[in-house]
Structure 1
């Protein structure tokens, strides 16, 4: 199948299915938070959310192993169907028992277990849908869907809560059911089904294996570049507005500018023709984020903070697309599920610690210091990525664009972009 045919078919439907699932996921968390607060107050809400986060973090790597052993499309279909069923059962519990903390906790834990399987499967699917040279573009579309889902989900969840918790949960179940229907129509490209090794036990993922593939700097650098932006910076912006005496709307404007900047660059990278962008392009987008973070944390002018935040969104969005695209291209398919799990653990798993660190740093030395430290983390990410020597392959012209994804280093030109 040609690259254009892939985009008209499975890849496009996969992006839509993923976006619908993200909208459902974000809406679910808002509804769950509201329901738990109604059931027992803010402390109950925090406890229920924490209970859901634990299995997601603890079981993520096991979910990665599963995605490397089983067709990830089947896992994605199964997990979306499981989430739809869980929400329908929860809607029934809300109607039958009312809002009771025990079943909300059970729902949160079960949802966390399912998410631990879904997230790595999403990371393992793209290589089966488009030619290897189109993977960065598909990642750009995926990140566009993620940003759209994060923008639409909270508003939709708030609107659904007005219908009642039972109706709200049932409505979100419909979103996951739509995702299932779309995923059932997605097929791997010819010759790009589950890896032949899938029938055998997945090889262990050790640091030595990543080092052997030349992936350690790329994976570690990507994780470090995303860590401040997985939640801590958003909290820092709110605390910064309080410290500066800005109105609440100013904090919303700063955060909105970040989202818009990231969304714009994701759409641009998704729609422009695929280009062999390599380490230099990634670093060119990453290095400005450190001074922009310092500017955001020190400026007393709201307008400057909004402009800096918009540029930050654009730069970090570019880095995410390029880094994740290179990871998709450079990682052997038999390891993609677990590599995705590692990256998710490094961001989702460490986010709660980051939330606490923001408050402690801001309380001790001021919010500006937190942004300076975040800039240091981003700078460290750049230094690590300087050591990246991964070289994503592309097909030799004589093969007509076919790439053996089970051989991570086929013959042909490279996409190092150096």
Structure 2
């Protein structure tokens, strides 16, 4: 008996991402959610300062980082098992409900710091699953050849949210206090939910489809396709979660016995096994493993000087708050220009080498920032830092998206997120203490060396150095 295999229907290309309505709906939802986040943190900081001492307010602002850092790996597993769209919608719904509940309580009473601390903890827990899912979602709404452009569009959305969110939060506080600002944040987050519901998910290939060379050594990577080819297999869940039978999903199948005995029953994969599989996938990947090391070194060398270090530098140089504001604005303008470049071009040749070169150039500029005496020169150097660091970050993010198998992308994003949001912020108190001991020049120079090591790693690893973005 002859079996006729009917190939799956291929969706016609949707065109460039900036003209794809599906991508634009996702981008609108992401932007609204990010603006809501900025308004939320303004409201939280103001309410905490008004309800307690400065040290208590600082504790409230920092408490959300603990559950976020501890639970983010698990959040990556959740995103891959249940689908990033479903997880993002659920996360935004929970965040919206929590913020609006606190706003309502603040309108009628003054519960105190305990309520604000509880809200911060809830946000941290939800962020632990929200952030990996957000990172995994672009690969489900557009083609691989558009992921670099989407990364640039996402960077522009973040810059826009940072610029708009803080004034909106301040306006909300001025009009009606923290309760009004919290209500505004909740409404902005709520806007993202119907937009996300309207976003269509693309079919998801089974695990291993994106890079057979890197997953061939994994015990559970049974279904692979040639590198660069679209994998043919059962479609994923309409929501974006892996298909049943996927080696990385919740229903991993044990192969039949070779001696003709009855097949071993399907054994559900546990969340712990999914986590180990994801870590093993990253460790064995010839591009992702060194790429995450590059991201870690770049962030560790960048976060301290450009946050707490810049404030101390401005104070010692006599630039004042206005001078520091100009430097920060120049950095933001440079980073925005880098995101705009990637959104416009869609790709850059020799992305791995270009990202490494930009990181090396940015590290030199970080070291130079502590040596310039005037505000004007500092603004120019900060513009260069923003452009180079922004370009490097955008290219690293685009390579992370395009090199990862979609079935593992939540876990990959979670590991990268822990590096950026868990490890890198630890450098801020260390930077402040080191500047107190040795001064700004040596500390900025040391941070530049750490940042530059990321570029050295990217250039030293052949597969990362030669990595390209899809065209």
Same fold (TM over 0.5): yes
Match of 2:120 among 95, 104, 108: 108
Match of 1:132 among 144, 147, 153: 144
1:195 pairs with 2:242: yes
RMSD value, Cα: 2.1
CA distance in structure 2 between the partners assigned to 1:11 and 1:75 by the alignment: 18
CA distance in structure 2 between the partners assigned to 1:29 and 1:378 by the alignment: 28
What is the CA deviation profile of residues 235-270 of structure 1, one whole-angstrom value per residue up to 9, with x for unaligned ones? 211110111122221111111100011011211210
Conserved 8 A contact 2:39-2:184: no
1:415 pairs with 2:415: no
Report deviation, 1:42.
1.0
Tell me which residue corresponds to 2:222: none
The secondary structure found in structure 1 opposite 2:370 is helix
CA distance in structure 2 between the partners assigned to 1:26 and 1:255 by the alignment: 17
Number of aligned pairs?
A: 397
Tell me which residue corresponds to 2:254: none
Tell me which residue corresponds to 1:262: 335
Tell me which residue corresponds to 1:175: 188
Report deviation, 1:390.
4.4
What is the CA deviation profile of residues 64-88 of structure 1, one whole-angstrom value per residue up to 9, with x for unaligned ones? 1101111100111111111110011
Runs (4+) of structure 1 exceeding 4 A deviation are 205-208, 389-393
Of 57-66 and 159-168, deviating more is 159-168
CA distance in structure 1 between the partners assigned to 2:435 and 2:126 by the alignment: 35
Equivalent residue runs for 1:20-35 within 5 Å: 20-35=32-47
1:287 pairs with 2:360: yes
Equivalent residue runs for 1:334-349 within 5 Å: 334-349=407-422
Conserved 8 A contact 2:278-2:408: no
What is the CA deviation profile of residues 113-160 of structure 1, one whole-angstrom value per residue up to 9, with x for unaligned ones? 111110000111111111112111111111111111122211111111
Tell me which residue corresponds to 1:85: 97
CA distance in structure 1 between the partners assigned to 2:386 and 2:74 by the alignment: 32
The secondary structure found in structure 1 opposite 2:276 is coil
Relative to structure 1, the CA distance from residue 232 to residue 392 in structure 2 (aligned partners, 3 Å threshold; closer, same or farther) is: closer
Equivalent residue runs for 1:150-165 within 5 Å: 150-162=162-174, 163-165=176-178
Report deviation, 1:336.
1.1
CA distance in structure 2 between the partners assigned to 1:47 and 1:220 by the alignment: 30
Report deviation, 1:338.
1.4
CA distance in structure 2 between the partners assigned to 1:349 and 1:203 by the alignment: 18
CA distance in structure 2 between the partners assigned to 1:101 and 1:203 by the alignment: 36
Of 197-206 and 377-386, deviating more is 197-206
- TM-score, normalising length: structure 1: 0.90
Conserved 8 A contact 1:137-1:270: yes
CA distance in structure 2 between the partners assigned to 1:189 and 1:27 by the alignment: 32
CA distance in structure 1 between the partners assigned to 2:202 and 2:300 by the alignment: 33
Equivalent residue runs for 1:300-315 within 5 Å: 300-315=373-388
1:209 pairs with 2:256: no
Tell me which residue corresponds to 1:4: 15
The secondary structure found in structure 2 opposite 1:164 is helix
Relative contact order, CA 8 A, sep 6+: which one is greater?
Answer: 1
CA distance in structure 1 between the partners assigned to 2:382 and 2:14 by the alignment: 35
CA distance in structure 2 between the partners assigned to 1:5 and 1:301 by the alignment: 43
Conserved 8 A contact 1:37-1:43: no
Tell me which residue corresponds to 2:322: 249
CA distance in structure 1 between the partners assigned to 2:192 and 2:465 by the alignment: 31
1:379 pairs with 2:452: yes
CA distance in structure 2 between the partners assigned to 1:119 and 1:168 by the alignment: 23
1:76 pairs with 2:88: yes
Conserved 8 A contact 1:68-1:337: yes
Conserved 8 A contact 1:330-1:392: no
Tell me which residue corresponds to 1:366: 439
CA distance in structure 2 between the partners assigned to 1:38 and 1:246 by the alignment: 29
Report deviation, 1:303.
1.1
Relative to structure 1, the CA distance from residue 205 to residue 379 in structure 2 (aligned partners, 3 Å threshold; closer, same or farther) is: farther
Give 5+ residue unaligned stretches, structure 1.
394-413
Of 343-352 and 79-88, deviating more is 343-352
- TM-score, normalising length: structure 2: 0.80
